[in-house]
Structure 1
Amino acid sequence: MTAQDRLEAHLKEIIQWHFSPETGCQFWLDWAKKNFDPRQEIKSMEDMKKFPHFQDEWLRDLQPEVWVPAAYKGKPFNIFETGGTTGMPKQRIGWEDYKTDYSEFSTKISDEHFPPGGAWLMMGPTGPRRLRLAIEHLANVRGSSCYFIDLDPRFVKKLISNKQFDVARQYMDHVVDQAAIILKHRKVSGLFTTPKLLEALAEKVDVYEAGIRGVFCGGTTMAPQYVRFIVEEVLEGRIGFYPTYGNTLMGLAASVPLQKEDNYSITYYAPQPRAVLRVVKPDDTKVTVDYDTWGRVELTTLTKEFFMPRFLERDEALRRKPRAPYEWDGVAEVRPFGAMENKIVEGVY
């Protein structure tokens, strides 16, 4: 069975689940009454184009209970918020999805760089974000425990928007100082952080001498020249580097190991069949762009806990061909949508 066959079979199962009264949630059952019955109309990924784009306002404005599948009624849920927005955040509810995503990711990082049983440190957004529980679960799966340094990306974005760069720098230093203290007094071998914070930490601490052997990095913009800087200068070619593209709505897209011919251009592959990424023409989103061409990222999430068709991310990327071990398209050099035309506030990402 090919990856495409597995995806189509999974899609049919998920459509049946979310649009059947015995298992589906209030939102999608009501939507089907007003629009069409996807159980009849949706037989393939191509048919998914019949859905309109999922609106992020639905996750901001509606009470979380409308997303609870009937099969999960009565089971308390986690409420996860998206990272760096201001105002009312998008919220995704869940039960086990984050564990599934991060247990799978554990198979993609090496024991050499993340020794089983060796402690982790997370320096990044905790609070209401899925990442906090997800990183701890990943460490636990590998027989490890995790230390945490909190970070509030919304506060940083607000400071930068207000041009309070000195305060933003103070806050970043405050976060990095806490991490440096942990590394000084505790044995830690695995680190999760963002590229900007990793760079700032390396200015204060010799990361390798502190015991770090692997860095799992999340963050939007990692242009090839910046990746080269991280790998060669910051990590000195001695520490394993695992960049990922992930968010609360998708889960975790892992990167393929860099090869010489990549020239430090990172490609990520979605966790199919639970999530599917397309790179589409911004002005005609039913059309997928050609390989090695820029387009806007469109995400479809397909789990029993959460169904989200055709959500337009605030990101753009290059569409890349499948590469082992992945049999589906990848996205490369992800950056904020419109980054070349507009000045984007990214804060510590």
Structure 2
Amino acid sequence: MTSVDSQVSPEIASQAAEALDRLNEHTLKTVHWHFSDDTGSPFWLEKKAELNFDPLTDVKSFDDLKKFPLFEDDWLRGGPVRRWVPQGHAGKPTYVFETGGTTGVPKSRVVIEDHWKDYELFSDTLPDEHFPRGSNWLMLGPSGPRRLRLAVEHLAQHRDGICFCIDLDPRWVVKLIKKGWMEHLEEYKKHCVDQAVTVLTAGHDIKCMFTTPKLLESLSEALEERGTSIQEVGIKGIFSGGTEFTPQWTRFCVEEMLGGPAEDGGVFMTPTYGNTLMGLACSKPITAADGYKISYHAPQPRAATEVVEFDDYNQVVGYGKTGRVKLYTLTDEFFVPGFMERDEGEREMPFAKFPWDGVSGVRPFHELATATTVGVY
């Protein structure tokens, strides 16, 4: 995390410096928790013996996390999963959430309350006029052993609403794509969207929803076939996440599907970038004046992202330059000191609401892009 350069206003630079101080302090606290014998997890206490430095004495700032080797996602494949539970949380009810697993063993992350905390923080960023408190929600996205379903349900409950969920297996979607069974894929997508349409037209007073870009488009088409629209069935606010978010798609979505910009009576939509390891990165407000550009900012200090050089993962690129996304997770439940995402994008400057670096233009990392199947996202 490099210091902010001269392109940033003095006021934002000052806020960014304060945010970095908080990140440094939080990093120190998190590292001590995970590497102390009475609070750390079996995995990290065992890993400590393999390191060529002592995390308890040699990590003094966020930048010192570069001393760790990169986090390997294969560490999360297979069990025993309890090795990830910190001693400081022993005896607490524990969830296990899966990610990936279209082929081979999926990655598993144990969680105690992180999904609640992440989405409560995200709730604070939602404008109440578009996500009215007390409103019911629709969760139109992956279900099963995935964090997202329970997290969105908690978000609805945290905002005094009730969440209606559909049943969707994204692994089956990816298998259909890989087999080339496009007719089956269309039928499965229709099956999922039909569930959503049934809920939305059943008088449940649903005003808010989560969905992915592809499913949002399919839902819009299905409602249009029935002579109605997302706006007309009562939706006021949508938060959405997925790799399909491009300025072009967002423009089409706002202008063609959501009744125009929210300030002109349309449906409010906020893109997010997140996963089971990180939590949820919020986007800078999208405007037509800014060409519908989408910039994501991680939920510091609980997680941080950097955009780094393709040939040196410890070197952050300049503002506006392209690099690979590097993720850090820093909670007392889960510690990731540098994980290379399967995404690339451009480094964005801090701004008032999120005074730390962001990333825009998120897309599959070019070296892996041909092997990446996007599925329902």
Q: Is the shorter-chain TM-score for this pair beyond 0.5, marking a shared fold?
A: yes
Check if 1:228 corresponds to 2:251. Answer: yes
- Identity, % of aligned pairs? 52
Partner of 1:207: 230
Answer with 39-48 or 210-219: which moved more. Answer: 39-48
Answer with 88-97 or 108-117: which moved more. Answer: 108-117
Distance 2:100 2:136 in 1: 25
Shift of 1:261: 3.9
Shift of 1:115: 1.2
**Match for 1:16 among 24, 32, 56?**
32
Partner of 1:69: 86
Shift of 1:84: 6.5
Structure 1 unmatched runs, 5+: none
Distance 2:324 2:97 in 1: 24
Distance 1:7 1:335 in 2: 27
**Match for 1:322 among 323, 339, 350?**
350
Shift of 1:340: 9.4
**Match for 2:206 among 188, 206, 209?**
188
**Match for 1:49 among 66, 71, 78?**
66
TM-score norm. by structure 1 comes to 0.97
Given residue 115 of structure 1, which amino acid in structure 2 is its aligned partner? P
**Match for 2:366 among 324, 331, 338?**
338
Partner of 2:19: 3
Distance 1:162 1:233 in 2: 32
Say whether the 8 Å CA contact 1:119–1:145 is kept in structure 2: yes
Say whether the 8 Å CA contact 1:83–1:125 is kept in structure 2: no
Aligned pairs for 1:121-132 (under 5 A) are 121-132=138-149
Partner of 1:95: 112
Distance 1:56 1:45 in 2: 21
**Match for 2:166 among 149, 154, 161?**
149
- What is the DSSP-based 3-state SS (H/G/I as helix, E as strand, rest coil) of the residue aligned with 2:201? helix
Distance 1:327 1:271 in 2: 11
Check if 1:175 corresponds to 2:192. Answer: yes
Distance 1:131 1:56 in 2: 19
Say whether the 8 Å CA contact 1:83–1:129 is kept in structure 2: no
Shift of 1:22: 0.8
Q: 1:79 to 1:340 in 2, by over 3 A?
A: closer
Shift of 1:20: 0.5
Which whole-Å deviations, capped at 9, do the CAs of 1:85-130 have from their partners, x for residues lacking one? 4321111101111111111111111122111111100110011111
Given residue 107 of structure 1, which amino acid in structure 2 is its aligned partner? D
Partner of 1:109: 126
Check if 1:135 corresponds to 2:152. Answer: yes
Distance 1:85 1:252 in 2: 23
Q: 1:288 to 1:85 in 2, by over 3 A?
A: farther
Say whether the 8 Å CA contact 2:102–2:175 is kept in structure 1: no
Shift of 1:69: 0.8
**Match for 1:279 among 286, 296, 307?**
307
Which whole-Å deviations, capped at 9, do the CAs of 1:125-183 have from their partners, x for residues lacking one? 01111111110111111110010012111111111011111111110011011111111
Partner of 2:340: 312
Distance 1:260 1:188 in 2: 27
Check if 1:32 corresponds to 2:48. Answer: yes
Say whether the 8 Å CA contact 2:101–2:107 is kept in structure 1: no
CA RMSD after TM alignment: 1.5
Structure 2 unmatched runs, 5+: 1-16, 224-228, 261-265
Distance 1:84 1:331 in 2: 26
Shift of 1:249: 0.3
- What is the DSSP-based 3-state SS (H/G/I as helix, E as strand, rest coil) of the residue aligned with 1:189? strand
